[in-house]
């Protein structure tokens, strides 16, 4: 097979491979994608090198391509979409004839641009596996093309011999991943230029006092501990799951696709010396249950059972109650924070309904029609609320993946387009549907369920975050939970295990948190943590470093001693003159060169033997021998130290020369 045909086929195969995410993400519309795929498949299946289009034809197609991209919306939907659609059309024009060396470079660049568009518009965790497979394909293609090019310049050889070894491909992929991971963590995090697309939002883990329905990962599964709750005097088998529904915020204002606070000043509650603070009046003491809670997560919200009547907090902790009845403490309050709550399990404590509990966003006609359809045949408000709850549970699917288009209302997108979402979508939809029927409703967020620790205490994690509905029917507030059962956290036994679906959801959550929305603040947190660890370990490392340095010095001295020739004895530097020390150094260097110095050999004998092996050093060796004899036996003054050092260096250079 010729190099041109091989290059043509591999470029076409790569063009098909990089287009895999495009139909799934929708960044390229089908009228643009179909010609690209058809041309790439035709080029890949061709059995002969194809000729490129004439230059005049390409010039004629250029304005048509630009016009098509502009007609499809231009930059109205952001930068990524027009760039991707322009790239696929240009690639479709450049693929014929891409086997030619000069044309292959430009075509390869355009194909890479198509791949970048597909990757940049993908948010699914499977993208990691796709990138690894694509990298392996690129390495195999590069090795194959190199092998074919080398084989074409020499004698014929089997085509199979041009394939790169499998171990080379695997090693290249593993090396690339190991290099890319730290680079991804270290390179500065900048806000995406495609922030208008759904994947540009910042996720929040666990409970949030404000509920924004746009973006990805709005509710993520995390194993971080939020609080521990126990019910003194109640056996574990008698604890109702409803007791573990702990509310942190109640919201009634729906604005711009999210639920917001009323921005009204809250009332500060006070209790002296840790005494109970009354939250409501008129309940008998015999109907109450006591819950003891230890809050371990910062955020400012206190989480209470729905029927809370009194709360007891540590002395000195300021508690503020907002108009919706939610309790908060200053964010700087030291943790863990212990507080006790007495509550009525059969009652929901909430302020009475007002006009905000019936507010609807603009364009709610379709909501009213859906609510009427779902509650057809009901005779009272309670039956209508139960019908809406069941309708949402059975006609919609639970999913953590919810990328709301920027220009659509999230609730209407959920109800009429996606028909899948997380608990906040289900609860928000039911609140607005109830309001279309004239039923006051609020959205409540907090935690439900927990993990039993086996001693009457339940561990509540961020993965227990949930949203539900409060509706005012039959003159009192009632709880409704329209989320399907698979989307509702429950009560796990001690050491409870996760299902395969929960494990996958946790992986998807980690992908959202640490890949898609990994930010510069995360980098700063990691750097700060590493600095603290390094500073803490530095004090312990100093003794270890000193010991290691001492051991290295001892090892070096032993190594030097072993390299000295037989019969060598180091002179006493304090007693022997400099010429004697220098002569012993020269003798040691000669021994390393292989010139044997037998015991009892005189200085003149050594100089003669060394000069015979290294004639270039004969003069210097003779001078050293004479000066040594004059100083040692005739009592003459020692020669200058500089002259001795020069002589030693000259002999050592001569001994090292080949």
Q: pLDDT tens for residues 520-561?
A: 766 777 787 788 778 777 767 667 777 788 888 888 887 766
pLDDT value of position 548 = 81
Task: Give 36's contacts (C-beta < 8 A, 6+ positions apart).
Answer: 15, 19, 28, 88, 89, 91, 92, 114
Q: Calculate the CA dihedral of residues 173, 175, 180, 186 and round it to 10 degrees.
A: 170
Residue 416 has pLDDT above 50, yes or no: yes
Categorize the per-residue pLDDT at 503 as very low, low, confident or very high, splitting at 50, 70 and 90.
Answer: low
Categorize the per-residue pLDDT at 492 as very low, low, confident or very high, splitting at 50, 70 and 90.
Answer: low
Q: Give, in degrees to the nearest 5, the angle at Cα 366 between 364 and 368.
A: 70
pLDDT value of position 42 = 95
Q: Calculate the CA dihedral of residues 26, 31, 37, 39 and round it to 10 degrees.
A: -160
Residue 367 has pLDDT above 80, yes or no: yes
461 phi, psi to nearest 5 deg:
-110, 170
pLDDT value of position 371 = 94
Round the average pLDDT of the chain to a whole number and report it: 80
pLDDT value of position 502 = 58
Segment 308-319 shows an average pLDDT of 87
pTM exceeding 0.75: no
pLDDT value of position 439 = 95
Categorize the per-residue pLDDT at 431 as very low, low, confident or very high, splitting at 50, 70 and 90.
Answer: very high
Closest CA to 478 of 512, 522, 430: 430
For 446-463, how does the pLDDT look when each residue is reduced to its tens digit (9 = 90+)?
999 888 877 778 989 888
Q: Which long-range contacts (CB under 8 A, 24 or more apart) does 519-523 make?
A: 519/189, 519/202, 520/188, 520/189, 520/190, 522/189, 523/185, 523/186, 523/188, 523/189
305 phi, psi to nearest 5 deg:
-60, 155
Segment 356-375 shows an average pLDDT of 92
The structure tokens listed for 65 are 């391509």
Compute how many other C-beta atoms are within 10 angstroms of the C-beta atom of residue 263: 8
d(CA 223, CA 205): 10
Residue 488 CA from chain centroid, whole number? 26
Q: Cα dist. 338→296, 312, 314, 318, 465 in Å?
A: 9, 9, 7, 13, 20
**SS3 assignment, position 480:** strand
For 119-167, how does the pLDDT look when each residue is reduced to its tens digit (9 = 90+)?
877 777 788 888 899 999 999 888 888 877 776 665 544 444 467 888 8
For 243-293, how does the pLDDT look when each residue is reduced to its tens digit (9 = 90+)?
999 998 898 988 877 888 766 677 787 655 568 888 887 655 557 889 999
Residue 69 has pLDDT above 60, yes or no: yes
Q: DSSP characters for 406-448? A: TTS-HHHHIIIII-EE-HHHHHHHHHHHHHHTT--EEEEEEEE
pLDDT value of position 216 = 40
Categorize the per-residue pLDDT at 571 as very low, low, confident or very high, splitting at 50, 70 and 90.
Answer: very low
Count Cβ atoms within 10 A of the Cβ of residue 282 and give its class: 0-12 exposed, 13-18 middle, 19 or more buried: exposed
d(CA 48, CA 30): 29
**SS3 assignment, position 313:** strand
Beta bridge partners of 365: none
d(CA 259, CA 356): 12
Residue 325 has pLDDT above 90, yes or no: no
């Amino acid at each position: 097979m010729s190099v041109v045909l091989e290059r043509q086929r591999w470029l076409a195969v790569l063009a098909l491979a990089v287009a895999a995410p495009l139909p799934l993400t929708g960044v390229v519309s089908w009228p643009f994608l179909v010609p690209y795929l058809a041309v790439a498949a035709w080029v890949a299946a061709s059995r002969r090198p194809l000729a490129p289009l004439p230059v005049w034809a390409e010039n004629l197609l250029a304005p048509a391509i630009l016009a098509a991209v502009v007609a499809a919306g231009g930059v109205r939907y952001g930068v990524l979409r027009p760039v991707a659609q322009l790239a696929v059309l240009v690639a479709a024009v450049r693929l014929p004839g891409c086997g030619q060396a000069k044309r292959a470079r430009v075509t390869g660049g355009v194909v890479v641009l198509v791949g970048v568009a597909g990757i940049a518009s993908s948010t699914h965790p499977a993208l990691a596996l796709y990138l690894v497979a694509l990298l392996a394909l690129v390495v195999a293609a590069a090795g194959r093309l190199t092998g074919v090019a080398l084989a074409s310049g020499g004698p014929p050889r089997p085509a199979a011999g041009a394939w790169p070894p499998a171990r080379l491909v695997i090693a290249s992929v593993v090396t690339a991943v190991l290099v890319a991971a730290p680079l991804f963590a270290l390179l500065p995090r900048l806000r995406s230029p495609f922030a208008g697309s759904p994947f540009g939002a910042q996720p929040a883990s666990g409970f949030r006092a404000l509920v924004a329905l746009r973006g990805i990962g709005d509710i993520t599964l995390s194993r971080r501990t939020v609080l521990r709750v126990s019910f003194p005097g109640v056996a574990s088998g008698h604890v109702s799951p409803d007791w573990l529904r702990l509310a942190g915020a109640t919201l009634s204002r729906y604005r711009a696709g999210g639920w917001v606070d009323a921005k009204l000043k809250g009332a500060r509650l006070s209790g002296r010396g840790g005494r109970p603070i009354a939250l409501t009046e008129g309940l008998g003491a015999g109907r109450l249950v006591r819950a003891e809670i230890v809050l371990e997560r910062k955020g400012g919200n206190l989480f209470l059972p729905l029927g809370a009547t009194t709360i007891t907090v540590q002395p000195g902790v300021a508690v503020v109650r907002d108009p919706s009845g939610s309790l908060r403490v200053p964010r700087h309050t030291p943790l863990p924070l212990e507080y006790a709550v007495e509550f009525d399990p059969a009652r929901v404590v909430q302020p009475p309904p007002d006009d905000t509990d019936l507010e609807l966003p603009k364009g709610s006609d379709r909501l009213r029609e859906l609510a009427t359809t779902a509650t057809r045949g009901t005779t009272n408000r309670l039956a209508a609320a139960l019908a809406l709850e069941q309708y949402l549970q059975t006609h919609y699917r639970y999913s953590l993946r919810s990328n709301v288009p920027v220009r659509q209302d999230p609730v209407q997108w959920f109800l009429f387009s996606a028909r899948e979402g997380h608990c906040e979508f289900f609860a928000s939809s039911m609140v607005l549907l109830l309001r279309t029927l004239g039923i006051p409703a609020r959205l409540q967020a907090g935690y439900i369920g927990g993990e039993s620790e086996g001693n009457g205490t339940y561990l509540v994690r961020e993965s227990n975050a949930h949203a539900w509905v409060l509706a005012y029917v039959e003159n009192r507030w009632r709880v409704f939970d329209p989320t399907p059962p698979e989307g509702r956290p429950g009560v796990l036994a001690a050491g409870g295990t996760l299902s395969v679906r929960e494990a996958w959801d946790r992986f998807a959550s980690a992908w959202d948190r640490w890949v898609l929305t990994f930010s510069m603040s995360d980098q700063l947190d990691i750097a700060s943590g590493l600095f603290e660890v390094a500073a803490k370990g530095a004090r312990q490392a100093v003794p270890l470093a000193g010991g290691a340095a001492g051991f290295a010095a001892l090892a070096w001295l032993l190594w030097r001693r072993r390299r000295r020739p037989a019969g060598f004895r180091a002179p006493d530097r304090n007693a022997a003159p400099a010429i004697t020390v220098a002569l012993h150094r020269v003798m040691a260097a000669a021994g390393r060169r292989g010139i044997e110095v037998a015991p009892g050999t005189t200085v003149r004998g050594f100089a003669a033997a060394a000069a015979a092996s290294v004639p270039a050093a004969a003069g210097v060796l003779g001078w050293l021998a004479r000066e040594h004899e004059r100083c040692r036996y005739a009592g003459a003054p020692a020669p200058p130290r500089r002259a001795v050092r020069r002589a030693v260096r000259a002999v050592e250079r001569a001994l090292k020369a080949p």
